[in-house]
Amino acid sequence: MRKTHGRLDTTFSGRRWRMKKKKMRTFRNRLREDLKDPEFKAHYQEERQALKLAMKIATLREKKGLSQQQMAKLMGTSQQAVSRIESGEYEGFTLKTLEKIAEATGTKVKIEFVAA
């Protein structure tokens, strides 16, 4: 007799119930499969790059002890603009924007090209 309880598959064998864990599909396994598709992989890498930059900017701002409002004032923009920049979905990065961020945080922009 077989019964399934969520992720556990139980089988009655004589006097004992044996429990086997079903293999659960994890996010990492799914991602590994999806990354085999070249189109998905290209989009994924593009989004990942944008998110990494947004996180670097937010971390830098926080490390400097600035609120989004304070950073915006130093950059000559609005708090909402800083929020968009830090969202990971902002696509309007220009060298000028990056230089404003650097100036507001007392840092310099360093652009680097690395092998693909």
69 and 51 part of one domain: yes
Number of domains in the chain: 2
List pLDDT tens digits, range 94-109.
Answer: 999 999 999 999 999 9
Band of pLDDT at residue 4, cut at 50, 70 and 90: low
- Which H or E run contains 2? strand 2-5
18 and 60 part of one domain: no
55 and 84 part of one domain: yes
Per the structure, the complete domain to which residue 19 belongs is given by: 1-34
List pLDDT tens digits, range 62-73.
Answer: 999 999 999 999
Mean pLDDT of 75-84: 97
pLDDT at 87: 94
30 and 46 part of one domain: no
Contact 57, 88 (CB under 8 A): no
21 and 56 part of one domain: no
How far, rounded to the nearest angstrom, does the alpha carbon of residue 59 sit from its chain's CA centroid?
Answer: 13
Q: Does the pTM exceed 0.75?
A: no
How far, rounded to the nearest angstrom, does the alpha carbon of residue 77 sit from its chain's CA centroid?
Answer: 25
List pLDDT tens digits, range 11-53.
Answer: 555 566 666 666 677 999 999 999 999 999 999 998 999 999 9
Alpha-carbon gap, residue 100 to 107, rounded angstroms: 10
Band of pLDDT at residue 116, cut at 50, 70 and 90: confident
**Predicted confidence (pLDDT) at residue 10 exceeds the cutoff of 70:** no
Mean of pLDDT over the chain: 87
